[in-house]
Structure 1
Amino acid sequence: MGLFIGSNRLLNRLRTIRDIVSDIQKKTNNQTDNQSINQSINQSINQSINQLSNRITQIEYNIQDLKITLNNLYMPPEQDDKYSWDGRRFEYLHRLLEIKDIKDVGFVRIGHEYDGGYIMLDDFHENMIAYSYGISNDVSWDLDMANHHIHCYMYDHTITSLPQESLYFHWRKEGICGIKKTDHCNTLDSHINHNGHASNKNLILKMDVEGAEWDALINLDEKTLNQFQQMVFEFHDMYDPHRYSMICRVLEKLNKTHQCIHVHGNNYGPRKCSNKLVIPHALEVLYARKESYEFLPSQHFYPREFDMPCNPYADEIILGYWNL
């Protein structure tokens, strides 16, 4: 218990330091405006302050990882599957992905009947803009968006061209990443700013990027997240213990602005079960922005009647009654 109290105190001190650093940066910028300090010196000061702020953020993440790990280690002796390592992790993931029904809005499948299609809210209008990450040889989701007269900004650095063109398609040979930009990957914030959508709150997001989603989302600003009215993901490595703490942090962040409203297991991959709780390796998850809809308690059996298997030649993954 002392470790938890100590880590909380350290987090509070780090946040105080970051506030002080931010205040210094603001004062430095004000002095620059008033006294015309040499530009190169000012850039050096700001760079050092930004590096310190980023380091503090990373330390905060490390402390959160430690708290999650300690929370899983501090458990009663194993008497049944519920108290196993997998049992504790699976229970928390189910709680982070608690599903609610949405009032007065139905579901619709966007994209192919099988792999490449996703269940989404049937709530589209022409002023919306879609961001699509992970294309490969399938643009069925994007074509359905185009049929709703919605422009699609599409990103995939693993292909040389789109398999099909449309006046509504805007493709770049670029992937998505977190803070570590590369020659062929950039952040979601950068893409939105580049396209002139920084103030647009009528955005839709589809992301299936084979595990790169965690690094991209953990570093995404909450304000940017709140620009998306609905978001559908294919989350990967869901029961990987090495990614557990990052997955928890991402899901906790998403829950601040959005509500999980549907899940579906991708039956091309395996699944694990602990204490009657199923977690697939790849899980399709639909989120709706909290400020845009009204939500109700939910207790459905998954897959639902409108779901379709990703692999039509294999049995669906039975998730059962998802909410605990």
Structure 2
Amino acid sequence: MDFLYPLTRWQRKRRKRKERLARDTAFQQLLDRDGLTPVEVLADVLPGLEPMATGFDLVRIGGARDGGYLLPDDLDGLAASFSPGVNVMVDFDLDMAARGVPVFMADASVDGPPVQNPLFDFEKLFLGPETRPGFITLDDWVAGKAPAQGDLLLQIDIEGAEWDVLDTVSDAVLNRFRIIALEVHDFHEVFRDGAAAQKLRVLKRLGRDFVVAHVHINNCDAPMSLGRLSVPPTFEITYLRRDRVTDLRPAAPLPHPLDTPNDRRNVDFVMPPVWRDFRM
């Protein structure tokens, strides 16, 4: 009879290294098959993901783990917060409501937020590129819910659907948002010819009207290895609209003192400083 013993710490590390090597090798084979996006195109986008100081200190909104974001402390006077994707944790939304900001929430996978608040407004709908049964566009959602005047905040974590949503939103609605706290999914696909165009288009569009105020890797997914480049599949990025920036300069090195790992069981990863001098 074979007996199963708990793995030692060294064995666990060795297993993780082997799993990561197999995943990275498969990723490289996939890229070799599909072809890499030209370096010159990526070089136009990746420097735009370098966080900048904006003249505002960063504050943490939401809990200490997953669902918390670092935002520029430019929150006074916001007319509303739009928060698609409702999880068991709504600390971010509760923090915004505590500041007196109405919070509009949408998610068809749940019947409502896990806690109630007088400033919460919930729609059982998914956010998508077109309005149809079960879905609503960001334009239609804002048109139906937002006050006629005033800046808005967008906190968006919708498991990969963010690319379609941000690709189809109008300039008029996008620029009503003073701050965007975005969780990016499947970023590694920006290096695949078959999936790169939309992601590059969305990132360039955001970089035109917004400045990156902070970046933090979601440590639920370890970065993938692509040559000398470390590629995080999932990360949080905070944007501040350019007209709000008062002092544009490179931010202090990451991590920020307020950064915490999304999953305390995993090591926290630091966004590599490779964006500034991209090399393949």
Residue 90 (structure 1) shift: 5.9
Residue 196 (structure 1) shift: 4.5
Residue of 131, 139, 145 corresponding to 1:189: 139
Question: What residue in structure 2 maps to residue 223 of structure 1?
Answer: 172
Distance 1:275 1:99, change over 3 A: farther
The question of whether the paired residues in 1 share the 8 Å contact of 2:51 and 2:213 is answered with yes
CA distance in 2, matches of 1:189, 1:322: 35
Residue 300 (structure 1) shift: 3.5
Residue 146 (str. 1) matches residue 81 (str. 2): no
Residue 276 (structure 1) shift: 4.0
The question of whether the paired residues in 2 share the 8 Å contact of 1:237 and 1:243 is answered with no
Question: What residue in structure 1 maps to residue 124 of structure 2?
Answer: 173
Residue of 246, 261, 270 corresponding to 1:309: 261
Residue 211 (str. 1) matches residue 211 (str. 2): no
1:233-272 matches, within 5 Å, as 233-240=182-189, 241=192, 242-272=194-224
Question: What residue in structure 2 maps to residue 296 of structure 1?
Answer: 248
Q: Which runs of 5+ in 2 are unaligned?
A: 1-34
CA distance in 2, matches of 1:261, 1:127: 18
Q: Which runs of 5+ in 1 are unaligned?
A: 1-83
1:1-324 matches, within 5 Å, as 85=36, 88=39, 91-103=43-55, 105-125=56-76, 127-179=78-130, 181-197=131-147, 199-240=148-189, 241=192, 242-274=194-226, 276-321=228-273, 323-324=275-276
Which structure has greater helix proportion? 1
- Report SS of the residue matched to 1:252: helix
CA distance in 2, matches of 1:161, 1:107: 30
The question of whether the paired residues in 2 share the 8 Å contact of 1:129 and 1:203 is answered with yes
Distance 1:276 1:318, change over 3 A: farther
Q: What is the CA deviation profile of residues 145-166 of structure 1, one whole-angstrom value per residue up to 9, with x for unaligned ones?
A: 0111111001111101221000
Which has the higher mean CA deviation after the structures are superposed, 222-231 or 124-133?
Answer: 124-133
The question of whether the paired residues in 1 share the 8 Å contact of 2:45 and 2:204 is answered with no
Residue 98 (structure 1) shift: 3.1
The question of whether the paired residues in 1 share the 8 Å contact of 2:79 and 2:101 is answered with yes
CA distance in 2, matches of 1:275, 1:108: 35
Amino acid in the other structure paired with 2:74: D
Amino acid in the other structure paired with 1:232: A
Amino acid in the other structure paired with 1:183: P
Aligned length in residues: 238
Which has the higher mean CA deviation after the structures are superposed, 300-309 or 254-263?
Answer: 300-309
Q: CA RMSD in A?
A: 2.0
Residue 177 (structure 1) shift: 0.5
Residue 112 (structure 1) shift: 1.1
Residue 263 (structure 1) shift: 0.6
- Larger-Rg structure: 1
CA distance in 1, matches of 2:240, 2:119: 24
Amino acid in the other structure paired with 1:207: I
Amino acid in the other structure paired with 1:252: K
Q: What is the CA deviation profile of residues 27-46 of structure 1, one whole-angstrom value per residue up to 9, with x for unaligned ones?
A: xxxxxxxxxxxxxxxxxxxx
The question of whether the paired residues in 2 share the 8 Å contact of 1:99 and 1:261 is answered with yes
TM-score using structure 1 length: 0.69
Amino acid in the other structure paired with 2:178: Q
- Report SS of the residue matched to 1:94: helix
Distance 1:127 1:215, change over 3 A: closer
